[in-house]
């Protein structure tokens, strides 16, 4: 499984792929220079837990950049609220 990250300075995505099969996608938009908004997450049902893996990549990216995440996507919001280890990057 490979998780690819793209970011054009306005928006970005984390895309999980297994060979030629898309396993999941998480998209975000920048809200200023210090925060991004996760607005959508979708996972292929054949890849259990892929949403969590995508969120972990997003959290790692936020920590590396020293920015916060505003999770408007219901999945990301629920998971970040439940997982105290992610609260440091939650806006």
Interatomic CA distance for residues 2 and 73, integer angstroms: 22
- What pLDDT, on the 0 to 100 scale, is given for residue 75? 97
Q: What are 56-69's pLDDT values in tens digits? A: 999 999 999 999 99
Residue 86: predicted pLDDT: 98
Class of domain 2-89: alpha beta
In order of 19, 47, 51, 53, 88, the CA distances from 22 in angstroms are: 8, 9, 12, 14, 30
pTM beyond cutoff 0.85: yes
Q: Which residues, given as ranges, of the chain have pLDDT below 50?
A: none
Query: In 3D, which of 50, 28, 47 has the Cα closest to residue 39?
Result: 28
Q: Where are the domains of the chain?
A: 2-89
- What pLDDT does 23 receive? 98
């Amino acid at each position: 499984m490979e998780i690819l990250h793209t970011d054009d300075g306005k928006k970005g995505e984390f895309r999980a792929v297994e060979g030629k099969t898309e396993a999941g996608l998480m998209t975000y938009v920048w809200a200023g220079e210090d925060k991004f908004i996760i607005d959508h997450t979708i996972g292929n049902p054949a890849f259990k837990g892929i949403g969590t893996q995508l969120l972990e990549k997003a959290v790692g990216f936020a920590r590396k950049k020293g920015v916060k995440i505003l999770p408007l996507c219901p999945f990301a919001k629920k998971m970040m609220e439940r997982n105290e280890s992610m609260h440091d990057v939650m806006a």
